[in-house]
Amino acid sequence: MEQREIRTLVNRQRRFFYTGKTQHMAFREIALRRLQISIMAHEDEINRALRLDLGKSASEAYMCETGMVLAEISYMLKHMRQFGKDQTVRTPLAQFASRSFRKPSPYGVTLIMSPWNYPFLLTMEPLVDALAAGNTAIVKPSAYSPFTSEIMAKIISECLPKKYVAVVNGGRKENQWLLKEKFDYIFFTGSQAVGKEVMAHAAKHLTPVTLELGGKSPCIVDETANIKLAARRIVFGKYLNCGQTCVAPDYVYCAALVKDVLVDEMKKQIRKQFGDDPLANADYGRIVNEKHFRRLIGLIDPTKVVAGGECDSTLLQIAPTIMDQVTFEDAVMQEEIFGPILPVMTFHSLDAVISQINRREHPLALYMFTESKANADRVMTNCGFGGGCINDTVIHLATSEMGFGGFGESGMGSYHGKTGFDTFSHYKSIVDKKTWMDLPMRYQPYNKVFDFLIRLFMH
């Protein structure tokens, strides 16, 4: 798509938004039902696309992508009429007689820019929230997941007109052209570097943004933890989608007393979940492209590898890998890993762990394995992070009942369920003043009676 076509598309969507059709809940419901039906009709093609882009199995594709999008649609269809109602609030006595209320209103033309690691989920779920809130949307998927981008364009074009929802495929050139346009809201999921660029462009138009970024999400295991269960759940969360998950445990921070036991149990779990030769496992995915494959290989220190490390440069696969005796000075700790490499570090004091985490960039997620409620409370209260779990990994984002997002370096804003509806809505604060009476005391000339009454009514 050329730059002029993008500009035409934005203008066409703005004209459509101002017709007022998206303001009606019935219109939004029809759109979401059409999207729901189209997704279900194309599920096999979605699975095939995710297999081609990332090597995902059909089971993982449904569990982590298609199923979650369908769940968000169902949730919105059930709740969005309630979400869209005016919210009456208390009116101060000084404003008698009137009604005060907050009115949720769509922003208008939105831009949704999504990444390649969960290309279907992280495109379609924010789209569902945007449509439920009454917006139009231009969707820009990642160029690194072309097969999934193609099927999403097909699904959307079959059930919704371009003046309402459109997909713009392409690479950096198309990203730049889109960001030069004036949108009413931008929702971006991806890296910090690109997030900063998106925010800089948005600032030129004073466009509000949500940034869903990432970071080095720690996984703390103390000496009271159920080690076997911790190992099982850490291995699941870390190596899901070959570690290409923004909320994957980036590194394990383990109490010295149980570190060796935990490492042994994680080795066992890798074999149990992926087999003796994970690279021969048809359900184990691959790295998205050669650039990221080479980057990940460069983070592996062979002298510290205690499990895995095998790779296949032809298939872009790296076996689930554990590195022990890692320090914050190692290369693997200098950036978000975003791959199947798990560094393990040791601690002797939980206070030191909290201090180390807080002096670094705010992570998107944090996980704590412990049987001590006091320890869990200390970490969850005193560490800054987006969201997380106690005694599990990654599952906190798999619900429409809680918002998901980070802050600072891991992003800004959140979505899912009601929080997603709110993200794509502007709440207008409105006072409806009645006309059957008009108290004269607020009008000049002021006097002592006014001074007395205004102090009385405003406290």
pLDDT digits (tens, 9 = 90+) for 24-47: 999 999 999 999 999 999 999 999
Q: What is the C-alpha to C-alpha distance for residues 377 and 56, in angstroms, rounded to an integer? A: 36
For residue 442, pLDDT beyond 90: no
Sheet holding 109-113, edge to edge: 165-167, 136-140, 109-113, 185-189, 209-212, 411-412
pLDDT band at 447 (very low <50, low <70, confident <90, very high): confident
Decide: helix, strand or coil at residue 279. helix
308, 323 Cβ separation under 8 angstroms: no
Percent of the chain at pLDDT > 70 equals 99
Count other C-beta atoms under 10 Å from residue 395's C-beta: 13
Helices (H) and strands (E) in the chain, counts: 16, 18
Q: What is the DSSP string of 135-148?
A: -EEEEE--TT-HHH
pLDDT digit string, tens, across residues 281-325: 999 999 999 999 999 999 999 999 999 999 999 999 999 999 999
- Render 233-285 in DSSP notation, one character per residue: HHHHHHHGGGG--TTS--EEEEEGGGHHHHHHHHHHHHHHHH-S-GGG-TT--
H-helix or E-strand containing 27? helix 25-41
Q: Measure the CA–CA gap between 286 and 277, rounded to whole angstroms.
A: 14
Record the tokens describing residue 448, joined without a space.
Answer: 């002592």
Asked about 246 being catalytic, the answer comes back as yes
295 CB neighbour count, 10 Å cutoff: 14
Q: What's the CA gap between 107 and 120, in Å, rounded?
A: 24
Where are the alpha helices (H) located in 321-447, listed in sequence order? Answer: 350-358, 373-382, 417-423
Which entry of 60, 72, 181, 212 is annotated as an active-site residue?
212
| Rounded percentage of the chain residues whose pLDDT exceeds 90 | 92
- Selected residue with higher pLDDT from 96 and 186: 186
Q: Which amino acid is at 335?
A: E
Q: Judge if pTM exceeds 0.75.
A: yes
Tell me: the pLDDT tens digits for 101-150?
999 999 999 999 999 999 999 999 999 999 999 999 999 999 999 999 99
Q: Which is catalytic among the residues 159, 242, 246, 311?
A: 246
Question: What mean pLDDT is reported for the chain?
Answer: 95
